[in-house]
Structure 1
Amino acid sequence: MNEKRTAVDLIWWIVLVLWSLAILFPLGWIFYESLKTNREFFMDVWALPQALEWANYKTAWVKYGIGNSMINTLYYVGISLVIGTFLTTLNAYALTRMEFKGRKLIWALIMLSLFLPGINALIPQYVLMRDLHLTNSLTGLIILDCLGENVFFLMLLGGFMRSLPKELEESAFIDGASIFQVFARIMLPLSVPGIVTVAIFKFLGLYNNFLGPFIYLSDQTKYTIGVSMYAANQMMQYTSDWVTMFAGVMIAMVPSVIMFVFFQRWIMEGATLGAVKG
């Protein structure tokens, strides 16, 4: 049965289309300019290029160290994602499915941390990392991100696990299963949508993380993609090689775009399944 479209629906459709264009137009313009020469760019930003300069992408990959930064980012994001997601899953299971003394107090402290700006921990974290000789190290960044639990991810996955039937665990315990077996064979498979959602959000956060790598990394060969693009932007005041800079921006966007295109269904399902209990 077809629903009648009202004037309000039409207005919202127009607003959403304009909003989409406002997001897509700058991205399209950057891609368009990345295929020009610098001379064409400075002469007329709207004129068509005489030839498509795909070599700008090779220059960005080599000259601005995008290739090396991608490898560093893959190492940093990949290991942090696997270990961090596993620890978040363990924490969410312990705080939502297990009964022990002090559980409510721990949750209260976790909720209290939401009111504390994260920037307040920046100096103590840096002092601790410096004393442990973990500065200027991608491994140090991995340790920092893995052990620093994100309250939003914990609440998201915890809400999802809380919606699962308690009878599944009780039946497994009656059959003699241990806590670890219940977690690995029952809770983990059933929580895959929520875990994937958290993993996607973690990936986007880690990939776009700038402040941490910028503060802790001083060696240019260890830069992640965010810091590398910042360094390339700083070079523009001396080189004005904007078309190569635009090519680097497009390369840096590729992993995030791929992640969104292929996993957007998981994001929507995982974010809503835990919202309704039953």
Structure 2
Amino acid sequence: MTQRRTLMDYVWRLVLFFWAATIIFPIVWIAYQSLRTNVEFFQDIWALPTSLNWTNYEQAWTDYNIGKSMINTVYYVGVSLIIGTFLTTLNAYALTRMEFRGRSFIWGLIMLSLFLPGINALVPQYLLMKSLHLTNSLTGLVILDSFGENVFFLMLLGGFMSSLPKDLEESAYIDGASIYQTFWRIIIPLSTPGIVTVAIFKFLGLYNNFLGPFIYLSDPAKYTIGVNMYQANMKMQYTSDWVTMFAGVIIVLIPTVILYMFFQRRIMAGATMGAMKG
């Protein structure tokens, strides 16, 4: 039987439509501005381009050194994603599937860390990175973001793993499997949906990360894409080449848009996965 829609259903649909429009419209506006000339842009910012000026994208790629910063970002995001996702999986398994003394106390400390603003850790982190000679280094950023566990991801994956039946592990132990074999051959395959969801969120967080690379990187040749576009934006007060800047923004958006197109269902479901599974 079809559920009858009420007036409030249509009101909420209308609210969500306008909310979506406030997000989509700026992106569309930047996209068509990136195909105009600076003269057209300053004459009328709302007019459509008279001709498609694709050279803005070529100029943005070369002038803003986007290619080099993309390579830096691929290294930083790729290595951090692999190491960080593995460590999150390992930590979630240890805290949800293994019985040991002090586990509740460790979970309590993890929950307590949720009440501490992350900005408070910037100064001690920077001093530690500087003493280890890891500043102005992409590898140093990889180490910082890989070993710095995110409580949200740990809770998300931990909630998923805690829903798996204990009988599977007990059967494996009876058959002679070690704890490492159980982890690799049973827990990881069954937790693949949760691991993939965490990896997607980690990718988005790392790709959009600005504060860390901005603080720790001082060499322009090592800038990630976020810091590189920030520096490009700072140049606008001297050059006012906005259409090239808009083209650079669209280039930077492409990887995340493609990721969302392929994984939109998993991204939307991932935020509540731990709550439903745990």
TM-score range, shorter chain: over 0.9
Any unmatched runs of 5+ in structure 2? none
Q: Which residue of 2 aligns with 1:142?
A: 142
Q: Which residue of 2 aligns with 1:21?
A: 21
Tell me how far 1:49 sits from its aligned partner.
1.8
CA contact 1:137–1:216 (8 Å) conserved in 2: yes
1:96 aligned to 2:103?
A: no
Q: Which residue of 1 aligns with 2:123?
A: 123
1:216 aligned to 2:183?
A: no
How does the TM-score come out when normalised to structure 2?
A: 0.97
Superposition RMSD in Å: 1.2
Q: Which residue of 2 aligns with 1:207?
A: 207
CA contact 2:69–2:225 (8 Å) conserved in 1: yes
Tell me how far 1:4 sits from its aligned partner.
1.6
Percent identical residues: 73
Measure the CA separation in 2 of the matches of 1:230 and 1:222: 14
Measure the CA separation in 1 of the matches of 2:176 and 2:265: 37
Q: Which residue of 2 aligns with 1:66?
A: 66
Tell me how far 1:120 sits from its aligned partner.
1.1
1:214-246 deviations in Å (ceiling 9; x for gaps): 000000011001000100000000000000000
Helix, strand or coil for the counterpart of 1:189? helix
Helix, strand or coil for the counterpart of 1:275? helix
How does the TM-score come out when normalised to structure 1?
A: 0.97
1:77 aligned to 2:108?
A: no
Measure the CA separation in 1 of the matches of 2:110 and 2:68: 37
CA contact 1:196–1:270 (8 Å) conserved in 2: no
CA contact 1:193–1:269 (8 Å) conserved in 2: no
Amino acid at match of 1:261: M
Q: Which residue of 2 aligns with 1:248?
A: 248
CA contact 1:163–1:276 (8 Å) conserved in 2: no
Helix, strand or coil for the counterpart of 2:275? coil
Amino acid at match of 2:228: S
Measure the CA separation in 1 of the matches of 2:239 and 2:277: 58
Q: Which residue of 1 aligns with 2:229?
A: 229
Measure the CA separation in 2 of the matches of 1:48 and 1:204: 32
Any unmatched runs of 5+ in structure 1? none
Amino acid at match of 2:208: N
CA contact 1:194–1:271 (8 Å) conserved in 2: no
Of 40-49 and 92-101, deviating more is 40-49
Measure the CA separation in 2 of the matches of 1:43 and 1:270: 45
